[in-house]
Structure 1
Amino acid sequence: MILPPAPSNAVGPDGLPRFGRYQGLAGAPGWAQLAAPHARPSLWRRLHHKRWHFVALVTDELFCGVAIVDIGWSNTAFAYVFDRAGRRVLAAFSPLGVAGLTAAVGATVAEGARFTMPGRQVAIEGAGEHGHRLRLRAGRFRIDAAYAGEGPRLLAIGPVFDGGSVHSTQKSPGLALEGTLEAGGRRYSLDGGMASYDFSNGLLGRRTAWRWISAHGGRIGFNLQAGYFGDAENALWLDGALLPLAHVEVGIEPGGCWMLRTADGLLDLRFTPEGTRNDNKQLLIASSNMRQHVGRFDGWVRAAPDAPRHAVTGLAGLAEDYRARW
């Protein structure tokens, strides 16, 4: 199935969201133009409008996650770098910001994002379809990265469960990575690695929970989600093609491995964690609990139920368990 091209706006002229999965980049969603039954008062939108821009950088040595998050009435950023061979975190931070001052997340991927406070600076620069840059400064933890590629981007627009309204997200395939990273007293080359991004913009409920699974290589990549957004963003990248995936069943074994199967028979994988980054925040009126597991995927994917299986062996990626009251 070939996905249709992305619309320029997630909301049509009739005020109804253009629910579906598309290929390509979209403009700003325009949530203020929503009509019933999806419309919400301006104060509600201000409190429930959530945006984040997450980037994964992967090499044979390292897995690095960087995110800037704007939840409307507050913001934050986090970054960590994981030594895959040593199975240890080399550097990490996760400060809370000040609403309207420390962070800005653009309305589209191309607008990028930034987080600035004393001792912590992160900038994600978008350059449209083909190129991006990431710059991070946090003491001796430093990143200068560039990533680019012409593979198809996923746009998913859909309803939100658990008290929200609508949501949109853009996901990239694996993008060619270059640059340097400094952490743990050492300088690493990122050249030859892979990057991918998750840019999300929506009106979410007071309580939100998901399981998110993502990994990208040169030929094969996938994005899976179980939770607040249903099956809307489940997708497979295979040899340059972007294919929608059905509902994913997630089973977690006593040893911590995740078993993943999609209902359409196109994906069957086992995720083995190499390490976990926990980030828990408890505030008076809000809380968040994130467990982002870094590890490897093994199994197979295919383009259609009767198509040949393509082996997945040792593909690096993440499996995240997240719950928030925001």
Structure 2
Amino acid sequence: MAADHDRLVVSGIRRYGRLPARPTVVDPLAEYQGLARARRRLRLKEWVGFTLLHPEVYSSLILQDAHYLASSEIYVFDRTATVLHQHAANARGGSLNLPHNLMDNSCAIDRPGYHVAYDFSEHTGRHHIKIDVAATGEAPAITGDLTLDATAASAPLSVSSRLPGGQMYTHKALYPVSGTLRFGDTSVAFSPDRDLAVLDEHRSLLPYRTRWVWGTFAMPTEEGPAGANFVNRPEVPGQPEESCLWTPGACEALADVRFHKQGGDPNAPWLITSADGRLDVVFTPEGRKTVKRHLGVVAIDYFQMFGRYAGTVRAEDGTVTVVKDVHGVCESMDARM
């Protein structure tokens, strides 16, 4: 059982700020009781997803629970054939039971023809992703058995902050990844000295009108994984953002990130910079996954682009790292939910 000091909410009081590590127990609703807790449960959006970085494919997968609806999505973009394969499944809200003590636990969605499972094991230093999705008339089967090396992971990003009309908690980390991903007749092998998986966990009480632009990329170095995570969203002044630079062994705070699309074409490059100049990269998309749903008061206009980053990042000690043809993603969300 987690000690009180190792929880996001301690004795009914939520911890805010950049945390040194993920609390063992992350339950944003523990701050509330009775009717207030029930109301906020319907505002709670929880997800655990991964971006997989490999030279032959772009791929992301997610388990997400909005408590009125749970769902999962996975896509694989074959860079050689320039074809996007994607699957999705829905489940009853609250049924995924994404565990509050995620890092020594498991979670999954298991629907007919669609199974995605995560097994997090801190004590062994290995996490696992299992994928078994059947073919449909629109996309081939996708299967996978991947192992993430937690002993060689980046420093964690763990942020708890207030949002206008809501609250946000996120945990992110970079992991060397090994194993195999198969789609149709194609099989790709992941090598831990070359390939990475980016974990993205959220436990957030999002406002009804939610907007963000977000991106991430990562690359291996001889000293360990390095990369960046950056976002622009409505913020409460003085609250920590989730933007960061990952240097080998450290997660350095970043703020005031701006995204500048360089043209009207959907695949036009994006210039992404921080006000202090420590992040200065160009993202060149190769394709995108889109979700558009308009159901009266509920609407989602979302796209995630996958492609390549180039430019520079500068660590707090002044060390400059050149970013060249590094795989990553960039996405936009505009939702009423």
- The residue that corresponds to 1:88 in the other structure is 83
Percent identical: 25
Alignment of 1:1-326 (within 5 A): 8-13=6-11, 15-34=12-31, 41-89=36-84, 91-101=85-95, 103-110=96-103, 111-128=105-122, 130-139=125-134, 140-148=141-149, 149-161=152-164, 163-164=165-166, 166-173=167-174, 175-192=175-192, 193-219=195-221, 220-228=226-234, 232-254=241-263, 255=265, 256-283=268-295, 285-304=297-316, 307-326=318-337
TM-score by length of 2: 0.86
1:33/1:290 CA distance change after superposition, 3 Å: same
3-state DSSP of counterpart to 2:81: coil
User: 1:88, 1:275 within 8 Å by CA — same for their partners in 2?
Assistant: no
3-state DSSP of counterpart to 2:38: helix
- The residue that corresponds to 2:137 in the other structure is none
Q: 2-side partners of 1:301 and 1:168: how far apart?
A: 25
TM-score by length of 1: 0.88
- Which segments of structure 1 move beyond 4 Å, counting only runs of 4 or more? 228-231
User: 1:10, 1:168 within 8 Å by CA — same for their partners in 2?
Assistant: no
Alpha-carbon offset, residue 203 of structure 1: 1.3
Q: 2-side partners of 1:30 and 1:68: how far apart?
A: 17
User: 2:22, 2:158 within 8 Å by CA — same for their partners in 1?
Assistant: yes
Q: 1-side partners of 2:97 and 2:32: how far apart?
A: 27
Deviations 1:213-240 (A, max 9, x none): 0111113211111115675211111122
Amino acid of the structure 2 residue aligned with 1:44: R
Alpha-carbon offset, residue 98 of structure 1: 1.9
Alpha-carbon offset, residue 285 of structure 1: 5.0
Question: Which stretches in structure 2 are left out of the alignment for 5+ residues?
Answer: 135-140
How many residues of Structure 1 are paired with residues of Structure 2 in the alignment? Answer: 311
Alpha-carbon offset, residue 11 of structure 1: 2.5
Q: 2-side partners of 1:212 and 1:134: how far apart?
A: 24
